[in-house]
Amino acid sequence: MNRRLLTILLCAFLVAAACSFLVYKAVGARISAVHGPATTRVIAAASDLKIGTVLTANNLTTIEVAGALPKGAILKQDAAIGRGVVSNLYQGEAILDDRLAPTGSGGGLAATIRDGMRACAVKVDDVVGVAGFVTPGMRVDVLISGVPPGPVVPTTGPEVKTLLQNIEVLSAGTDIQKDSDGKPKPVQVVNLLVTPDQAESLSLASNQTKIQLVLRNPLDTTITKTAGTAVANLFAGDTPPVKAHTVSVAKVVRKPAAESFSIQVYNGSKRSDAKFASSGGTQ
Chain segment 115-126, per-residue pLDDT in tens: 889 989 888 766
Alpha-carbon gap, residue 211 to 109, rounded angstroms: 22
Helix, strand, coil distribution of the chain in percent, nearest 5: 25, 35, 40
- Strand-pairing partners, residue 115, are none
Per-residue confidence (pLDDT) for residue 197, from 0 to 100: 93
Stronger pLDDT, 147 or 61, i.e. the higher one: 61
Query: Which run of H or E residues covers position 176?
Result: strand 159-178
- The closest of 118, 137, 123 to 200, measured between CA atoms, is 118
C-alpha 13/C-alpha 116 separation (Å) is 69
What is the spatial distance between Cα 272 and Cα 269, in angstroms, rounded to a whole number? 10
Sign, CA torsion 202/205/210/214: negative
Share of the chain above pLDDT 90, in %: 15
Tens-place pLDDT, residues 88-97: 889 999 999 8
- Residues facing residue 169 across a β-bridge: 192
